[in-house]
Amino acid sequence: MHGDDFLVLIPLILGPVSMGMIVLIVMVIARTKTRRTELQTEMQTKLIDKFSSAPEFLAFLNSEEGRRFLGHIESGPKISARDRIIRGMGKALVTSLLGIGFLTIGFLPMTNNDFCVVVGFLLLFLGIGFLLSALLSLKLSRNWGLMDGEQPHASA
């Protein structure tokens, strides 16, 4: 096997390995989030089960600890909305910059690579799509009162 033959194998090996790593990372993140949600739900259920009557539970909810307990439950959607918007902005930035990098390589006089230009435009437009999605999510989250300091707009 010559040195050039080995170079041909590199993309054939690195492509599936990198895709496998991406799938593994997504699976680990999904399992972590699911487990965290399960533990939080279990803890809240155990806390609620400790009360023997509705008046006892209402007294707890009116206490300072009860308000903090409810505050954590109510803040979940706000934190989740903010995190999704921030992740969307990050995806938009990374994808757009990657697209600009491919376009730069594709338009360089020494390379003049049409494949890089096509991939560059695809990544750039994908990044713009992520940005528009994040901005729309931000606007809707504010309209629905999911962002801090915002109240839901009354529907007409």
DSSP for 56-78, please give it.
HHHHHHHSHHHHHHHHHHHHHHH
Report if residue 102 sits inside a domain: yes
pLDDT (tens digit per residue) in 79-138: 677 788 888 899 999 999 999 998 988 888 887 788 888 999 999 999 999 999 999 988
d(CA 43, CA 36): 11
Can you give the pTM of this predicted structure?
A: 0.50
Q: Is residue 135 a part of any domain in this protein?
A: yes
How far, in Å, CA of 116 to CA of 111, rounded?
9
Burial class for 100, CB neighbours closer than 10 Å (0-12, 13-18, 19+): middle
Output DSSP code: residue 34.
Answer: H
Q: Count up the domains in the chain and report the number.
A: 1
Structural domain of 142: 77-156
Asked if residue 90 is part of any domain, the answer here is: yes
